[in-house]
Structure formats: C-alpha cells, structure tokens
Chain A
Amino acid sequence: MVRGVRLYSYLAGVSLKTKMAYRHDFIFGSIAGISSDLAGLLFIGIVFSNLPDVRGWTGWQVATIFALNSMCGALANTLFNGIWWINGRAYSGELNHFLVRPSNPLLTLVASKTAIHDSGKIFTSVAIFAIASHQAEMEWGVPLALLTVALVLGGTIIWTSVMLATSSLGFWTITQGTSLVFSVLQVGDLARYPITIYPFWIQALISWIVPFSFASFVPATIILDHGFPPWGWALPLMVVACPVIAYQVWLAGLRRYEGPGT
C-alpha cells in the first residue's frame, strides 16, 4: 500500500513534468475548466434570479450540489487521468508496456497521465462550494468540516470507479477514442441539480447504474440538512462497492486483452 502510494506519486510527478513543458496548455486548460464551471453557475444564477426556488431548493442550495459534483469530478480526473486512456492504449498496444512492469499495471497506468488542467476546476468548485454553502446558511464546525471532506473523498472514489468501469469497457469495443468515457461522464452533469426534479428512471440511472448522485446530491442533503432521501443510507455501501465492481470489470477486460498483434 505504502509502496503503491509512493510509486503513484513518483510516476505522477514524472508525467506532471512532461505536462509542464507545455505551459500554455496548462494555462488554457485551467481557463477551460474554470469557464465551464462559471458557465454552469451563471446558468443556475440566471434561472434562480427569476424564481425563488425549484421544488423546495433555493439557488444557493443547488449551487452547493453543483459545486460538490464538479469537485468530485475534477479530483477524479486530475488524480486518475490515466484511466481515460485505457481504451486508446489497448487499441494501440501501448498497454503491453504496463503489463510487463513489475507492479500493478493499473497503478502505473493511472499515474501515467495527469490532467493538471482540471486542477483549476478544483479551486473554482471549492470556492463555489464555500460561497454557496455560506449563503445557504450553514453552521460550520469541525465535525461538519470533517464530514464534508469524507463525503468529497467518497464522491471522488465513486467518480473514479465509474471512469474505470467505463474505460475498461473499451476492452470489448476496442476503438481509438475516449468518447464512451466522455459520454458516460456527461451523465454526471445530471447530478448537478437536485435529482428530485427528474422522472423516476433518470433518478434510478444516476443513483444505481452510474451512481453520481452519491457524489453530489446525497452529500449535499447531508451537509445542508435538507431533503435527505431514505435510500441515501446506501452511501457508505456505494463507496465500497463501486471500486470493487469497477476493479473486477478492469480485470475481466484485461483477461480479454490480446494485444494488437504487432
């Protein structure tokens, strides 16, 4: 475990250095991440400038959900960006490099790319969360702060699991692109609003199939003490089950992998 963490930080550091060589990319990337967050927030702001609330949720409460969703997504993307490229690397055969290294292939694969451009998004989402939760009149204290950190970590684990499971599906559909991961992560956009606005099937989709609501909506109901759903108790279970299932999908895919034959 300790060796794993050390190896991860070393490898991530190396890939970070290669990224830093392209400073413009970092700057543009940060601006891109920040601008997409601000656009989402502006949208919420304009909607709620015309309305007091939607199904009992005020604008600032919705912004809190939005910020948690963005934060978990950005953390997962930044720390574990290598997951995105499983598909493309299985396609090109580059995956072989990772299989012959004397360590867990998933670990080295995950650390092989870092998306520092999403780090801008981490900062903006934390800022939005701070402002929104303040405006939503939360009583901050040490226990609540610790709880919030735990919930964000849990949410990051859920996002990472979804990324891993989807990207591993690439072993079955071998293609060059990352469009499947991209599209599934777009489903995460649904979880930036209170999920009670959706018909049942969408609620079920984003809670039990790609369980993004456990990274945004459920934590927000706990932190804001507003509208906690009874099924929300499944949160700890999801935080444990999701990575286990995702890892199994990855292993199953890996068993299927034959290399490109070159």
Chain B
Amino acid sequence: MLEPGAVSLRRPPALWAVKLAKYWHLAASSAQNSMAYRRAMIVNLAAVVIRLLAIYFLWTAAFDERSAIGSFRREDVGTYLVIAFVAAGLLSFRTEMRISQAIRDGSIVMDLVRPYNFQGARLAQTLGALAVEAVIVVLVALALGVAVMGLHGPAGAVAGASWAVSLLLAMLIKFGIAYLIGLTAFVITEVYFLITVRESVAAVMAGTMIPISLFPDQLEAVIRYLPFYSTVGLPTDIYLGTIAGADILPAIALQLAWVIAVWTAGVLLYPIALRKVTIHGG
C-alpha cells in the first residue's frame, strides 16, 4: 500500500516549463507507442468501418422512397455518419483500455512513485495516442466519405470553426469518462465488460448511428443533456448546421460543463480508488 502523501514529497520545486515538459514527453512517448501498434489500431478501426458501412446502407435503403425522415435529409446521411464516425472513432477502445490495464498489471506502481499528477499524466498519454489516431481516422473518414458516402463540408465557416472547438471538448469528455472507467479497475477485474456496456449505451445515445432528433421526443429531451450526446452527436449537429446561430454557444457551454464535471469526478474519486490498491507480487 502506497501513501499518496509520500509521492508529493518527492515532487521537485518546478517551473511551469519544466512541469509542462514532462507531460509533453509523456504524450510524445505515448504517440510513439501508438505508432508501434498501428496495425492493431487499423484492424480495430476496420471493425468500426464495417459497422459504419452497415448503418450507412441501412439508411440509404430507408431513403429509397423519401427525401427526408423527420429533419434528417437524404443528402446529409453520409456526412452525418462520417462526421459522427470521426468523433466516435477518436480516442478508441485501446486508449481506454490502457488506463485500466496499467492498474491491473501493476505497472501503475511506477506511475505512483513518479513526480506527476496521475490524472494529468493519463491525459497527456491519451492526447499523444490521440494525435496518431487522428491521422488514421481522418484519412479513413475522408477516403470513405468522398468515395462512398457523399461527404460535404460544414454548414458554414462559423459551423466549421465551432465544430473544431466542439470536437476538442468532446475528446476531453471522452477522456474523462474513460478515466473514470479506468479507475474502476481498482475495484473490479474485468473493466473490458464495463467498456462494452459504455460502448453499447454510447452507440445509441451518443448519436453515432442515428441523429437523436429521430428519437421519441421525451427520450430526446433527456439524451440531449447526457454526456454521451456531447461526445458525438453534438459536434456533428454543429457541423451540419442542425445546431446553428445562437444555439451554438449554449451547446458548447454544456460540453464545457461536462468536461469540468468528469474531470472533477476523477479528481475526487482518485484518492478513494487508490486506497484499494494492492499490487500483488513482490
């Protein structure tokens, strides 16, 4: 059992630059690590692409005899799914698993004795891996979008810029959720299952496969404020101009609120989770 207090004693009196530099190195080494596992990453992404295609063709068939279903227009189907795919595909399963794996296999002990903030270090690593993922995901999305799915640009310059901001916030929310799930590894052994549950819930509620405007009204009213929608559907709706004008700021404020909420939850739960650590073996 490690005393968290003992860790902070070893923290050197550091300048901001020094502090930032160590997180930068963490991010860089994590990016390199992701590069090494790019084949696994691509294989996993292939699975996501297959699911994306299935949904796309289902929608195409659904639009056989109509040009719009509710507010969902035929010419937006491909774009909606590709842009949602970018938001959903970034910060993948593997990145999510890594946080809990370190806890499971005991390598977390090395993290505990090192002079950095545990949550900040995980964020740095996640962002590093994210950078590599982004390249692959964007390339795949562009190829698929242009070749098969009729991808078109954002609804306007404002929509495009707001989308970029919204996507970044979406990633921070995703990290926050992934981190919270990772912390449960202190308590349960198979975090994999918990991630599966999160994925299933998110697959529907986040708007990855279907715009939430097609949900029954009461359900939509609730889902709109849950964190999952903020991770995928919300940036996508901004891109397409479904959320536009004066609605953009409150939407981004909601995302910001979720970023703060999940981060704070992580800060509060970490010491509680840490008390559960028993690293087996000598």
Chain A residues within 8 Å of B, Cβ to Cβ: 22, 24-25, 28-29, 31-33, 35-36, 38-39, 42-43, 46-47, 49-51, 54-55, 117, 175, 177, 179-180, 182-183, 186-187, 189-190, 192-193, 196-199, 202
Contact = CB atoms under 8 A, between A and B. Distances in A.
Interface residues of B, number: 34
A196 B51 CA distance: 16
A25 B193 contact: yes
A46 B220 CA distance: 11
A77 to B, nearest CB: 13
Given A22-B190, A39-B200, A49-B216, A186 B57 contact: no
Contact of B210 (A25, A47, A54): A47
Given A24-B189, A117-B193, A54 B62 contact: yes
A46 B216 CA distance: 8
Given A24-B189, A182-B43, 12 more contacts: A24-B190, A28-B188, A28-B197, A32-B196, A35-B196, A35-B201, A46-B214, A50-B70, A182-B47, A183-B46, A189-B51, A196-B61
17 contacts: A22-B190, A25-B188, A35-B196, A36-B197, A43-B203, A46-B210, A54-B64, A117-B193, A179-B40, A179-B43, A179-B44, A180-B43, A182-B47, A183-B44, A189-B54, A193-B54, A193-B58
B204 interface: yes
DSSP majority for the B interface?
Answer: helix
B62 A47 contact: yes
A189 B216 contact: no
B40 A43 contact: no
Contacts of B2: none
A136 B189 CA distance: 41
Contacts of A202: 53, 57
DSSP majority for the A interface?
Answer: helix
A35 B53 contact: no
